[in-house]
Structure 1
């Protein structure tokens, strides 16, 4: 399973991408899927196994995110 993390702003999305890449957490930036609504058109996709680690990195660096969606 995967997770999709949505953000309020493109800046937060891009900053999150940089921070998570620096932590060597495998992620991918992609458009927000149609069935998910978001203020920002971009999202980060990651592995469900990395969910806690991703949230810790974002919180530690004060990156605001809208929601974490679990995708099958």
Structure 2
């Protein structure tokens, strides 16, 4: 099992977050849109939370969908 339970994917806008969530769910990857944690960014906005075990698959799916990411962070 992974050291971290969840990983968040930062995107450039809320519309990208909605799109990422839709793409990942279609591929069977469990997602949840959440507010960006303040310790990661002081910007208001949302990010996509996934299980850490799904990170590699999620990154591949989003890359193949040409959806750019602003960052990938593990949550403790």
Under a length normalisation based on structure 1, what TM-score does the superposition of the two structures give? 0.91
Distance 1:54 1:38, change over 3 A: farther
Partner of 2:30: 26
RMSD: 1.4
Matched residues, number: 72
Q: Give runs of aligned pairs for residues 1-16 of structure 1, distance below 5 A.
A: 1-16=5-20
Structure 2 unaligned residues grouped into runs of 5+: none
Partner of 2:75: 71
Structure 1 unaligned residues grouped into runs of 5+: none
Moved over 3 A (4+): none
Distance 1:39 1:15, change over 3 A: farther
Q: Distance in 1 between matches of 2:54 and 2:47?
A: 16
Q: Distance in 1 between matches of 2:39 and 2:52?
A: 19
Deviation at 1:39, TM superposition (A): 5.6
